[in-house]
Amino acid sequence: MNNISFLDLKLAPEILRAVTETGYTTPTPIQAQAIPLVLEGCDLMAGAQTGTGKTAAFVLPMLQKLMPFASASPSPARHPVRALVLVPTRELAIQVEASVKTYAKHSHLRSLVVFGGVDIKTQTPHLRGGVEILVATPGRLLDHIEQKSVQLNQVQMLVLDEADRMLDMGFMPDLKRILALLPKQRQNLMFSATFSNEIKRLSSEFLVDPKLIEVARSNATSANVTQKVYLVGHGEKHDLLAQLLRGDDAKQALVFTKTKLTASRIARQLQREGFAADAIHGDKSQLERMQALDAFKSGKVTVLIATDVAARGLDIDQLPMVINYEIPSAAEDYVHRIGRTGRAGAFGNAISLVSPDEEKYLAEIEKLIKCQIERAEPLPPVKPVVRPVERPVERHAPRADYPVRSHTPHHSVSKRPVHDAWFNKPYEPSVSTQVKETPLVVQSVKPVSQIPALFMRRKPAESNE
């Protein structure tokens, strides 16, 4: 830990005031290290992931350096783009720009966020109006460059945030095109959670004599998060998930899957079962993703199924539960995923459903976090349910003693479909079922561990995101 306070960082009073208003008193380690270096004008290669306070680590010194250019003039010419922040996803773009706005609110510095998936025409007038700080996803920025709605010849600071994700998502060609359009004389900051060879190559290409800082990777998981693993077959996962979501701890849950297809499939199935569920992933339109996120944040949607990429930048306080429907093959992603719960002093649950083929990843995770995750006992059987037996005879020809179209209510019962939504709910016989002719069968739903292997063969065969 460090003993530096924000006062020691020599930030302008306008910026300090905004920081104080957010309630932060002490810089995080990445902030304490990065801010002085950026203020000195160094290029920076910073190893830090979401949750470390990395956004303020570049935004605060960026604002400080741009303060001399702040102008109250309405003229666009007085507000050229001076700092460009490139990010891989729309969610992160929105989040970063919201931070910029928060910290810049007592200055005349302007900021804007542009990302794809929304009508470009809605962004153009704002861009033409002039902004000092532009946060953008690479593809949409290139669109604006082509349409000549933005000039980048005054950029003096470039930030590549989550550079590793940008490379993962195939943004390298776009990045190169953008970098070629920037003034040679500029300060460059690169933030990345990992230091792959590709990242090192990228940094050697565009950073000049960079200072390297790396905050201790937060591979330690929070003590506020209770972690559990259920060892289950693939085919058991959905039933177990539904059972967990019905529990008291799961008032709101973020469910992670590896692939977009799985995320969509689970969301659809849960919706059919009566859950307020939705999915976010790269195939959804920007509008759909924003709507799903807003609905989740407001509590209208209680189960959000997300892929790692789509969940980047998703920042929800007080999230009680994270469920790994599939555990990630990269152990660091596990730490990142479960860090979404148990924030700000709150308690959280992180549950992982691990099938036999995933146990090797579980071992990697446990090695990384240096502890063995508790293996949970199979859940007890859900309450006995009473299900009416369908009378096949009524599907065909109505019999005289069971007139299907009768207006007397008791005959309607055997036509009632037995579907998933109420399969696991205690069955409350209504008036229409209390007739002596209608046979009833009392069944106990088996715990998932007792479902015969025959039903566990479903194999996910989806492409990775």
In the complex, the residues that contact ligand AMP under the rule CB under 6 A are 24, 26-28, 31, 50-56, 315
Min CB(118)–ligand AMP separation in Å: 23
CA–CA distance, 190 with 333 (Å, rounded to integer): 20
Min CB(38)–ligand AMP separation in Å: 15
Q: Are 266 and 305 in contact (CB under 8 A)?
A: yes
Min CB(419)–ligand AMP separation in Å: 42
Closer to ligand AMP by Cβ: residue 22 or 434: 22
Min CB(315)–ligand AMP separation in Å: 6
- Taking Cα atoms as reference points, which of 220, 227, 223 lies closest to residue 373? 227
User: Which residue pairs, CB below 8 angstroms and at least 24 apart, start in 32-40?
Assistant: 32/2, 32/4, 33/57, 33/213, 33/215, 34/58, 34/61, 34/189, 34/213, 35/9, 35/11, 35/60, 35/61, 36/9, 37/211, 37/213, 38/62, 38/65, 38/187, 38/189, 39/9, 39/10, 39/64, 39/65
Closer to ligand AMP by Cβ: residue 24 or 69: 24
- Taking Cα atoms as reference points, which of 310, 364, 304 lies closest to residue 335? 364
Closer to ligand AMP by Cβ: residue 26 or 424: 26
CA–CA distance, 367 with 443 (Å, rounded to integer): 43
- Taking Cα atoms as reference points, which of 292, 244, 86 lies closest to residue 176? 86
Closer to ligand AMP by Cβ: residue 54 or 110: 54
Q: What is the DSSP string of 287-331?
A: HHHHHHHHHHHHTSS-EEEEEHHHHTT---TT--EEEESS--SSH
Nearest residue relative to ligand AMP (C-beta): 55
Closer to ligand AMP by Cβ: residue 51 or 117: 51
215 exposure class (CB count in 10 Å sphere: 0-12, 13-18, 19+): buried
Min CB(123)–ligand AMP separation in Å: 24
Min CB(28)–ligand AMP separation in Å: 5
Q: What is the DSSP letter of 399?
A: B
Q: Are 129 and 76 in contact (CB under 8 A)?
A: yes
Closer to ligand AMP by Cβ: residue 214 or 315: 315
CA–CA distance, 139 with 149 (Å, rounded to integer): 14
CA–CA distance, 359 with 183 (Å, rounded to integer): 50
Min CB(226)–ligand AMP separation in Å: 21
Closer to ligand AMP by Cβ: residue 53 or 388: 53
Lookup: tokens for 165:
């994700």
Closer to ligand AMP by Cβ: residue 342 or 388: 342
Min CB(292)–ligand AMP separation in Å: 20
Min CB(55)–ligand AMP separation in Å: 3
Closer to ligand AMP by Cβ: residue 24 or 423: 24
